[in-house]
Amino acid sequence: MLTTRRGFTLIEVLVTLVILLFGLLGIAGLMAKGQRAAFEAFQRQQALSIAADMAERILGNRGQAANYAANAPVATPVGASNGLYYGNLLKNNITNCATAVCTNSELQQYDVAIWEGQLMGYTESLIVGGTRVGGIVNANGCIEQLATTIAQCPGAPAPAGSLYTTTLRISVAWQGSGDTAVPTASNCGQGLYSSANNNGVYAVSEASRRLATTDVNLLQACP
């Protein structure tokens, strides 16, 4: 007597494997998007932290507010595109205020140099090779003076208690992992993330530029 045996045919197994493959591919794509989103969030968190650090430095040395803006302008931001200030600090061309007593002007230069080092990732590097891994991808920093009421100060010497306000915008620009809307809060880094820039360093589109900004309002004594 013959018995009928039931089971999966080879075609059914192949169909099942194909369906499973499509499902796994979808999961893999979702994981990749999740990793990119997490990295973007990490980059932005780092940028905001670095911008906040400079804001605290300016608040502690507010008399040099104009010089902070002059040494990190939008036209020539500090960071990946230049690297001059931190290099000068390493060469002792800028006074190291961590080990020496500095004037307010020297402290301002030191602050900009340290800030540039943070943008370039000097805070963390590999033991072997010394590759910097602590920074943001192609990060650049700018400080802009948005407004000041110093013109309203009385003639020098100003009476005691005469004050004016200054508003600075601190911006950190960096290269994102994909294109989004072009940021408009500041022109910091504009043109540096496009293949049309002068030296084609980054060779990506302007829409890949990311931006984090923070404003600092200073109350200062009239000169």
Q: Where are the domains of the chain?
A: 49-221
Burial class (CB in 10 A: 0-12, 13-18, 19+), 164: middle
Section 4-16 average pLDDT: 70
Which residues does residue 169 pair with via DSSP β-bridges, in sequence order?
144, 215
- Torsion over CA of 176, 180, 186 and 187, rounded to 10 degrees? 80
- pLDDT at position 20 is 81
Per-residue model confidence as pLDDT tens digits over 38-56: 888 999 999 999 999 999 9
Say if pTM beats, i.e. exceeds, 0.75.
yes
| Stretch among 12-16, 26-30, 48-52, 195-199 having the lowest mean pLDDT | 195-199
Q: Give 3's pLDDT tier (boundaries 50, 70, 90).
A: low
| Strand order across the beta sheet in which 140-148 lies | 78-79, 140-148, 163-175, 209-221
Cα(102)–Cα(90) distance, rounded to whole angstroms? 17
Whether 78 shows a pLDDT value over 80: the answer reads yes
CB-based contact 47:212 (threshold 8 Å): yes
Mean pLDDT of the chain: 86
For residue 108, count other CB atoms closer than 10 A to its CB: 23
Per-residue model confidence as pLDDT tens digits over 161-174: 999 999 999 999 99
Q: Give 99's pLDDT tier (boundaries 50, 70, 90).
A: very high
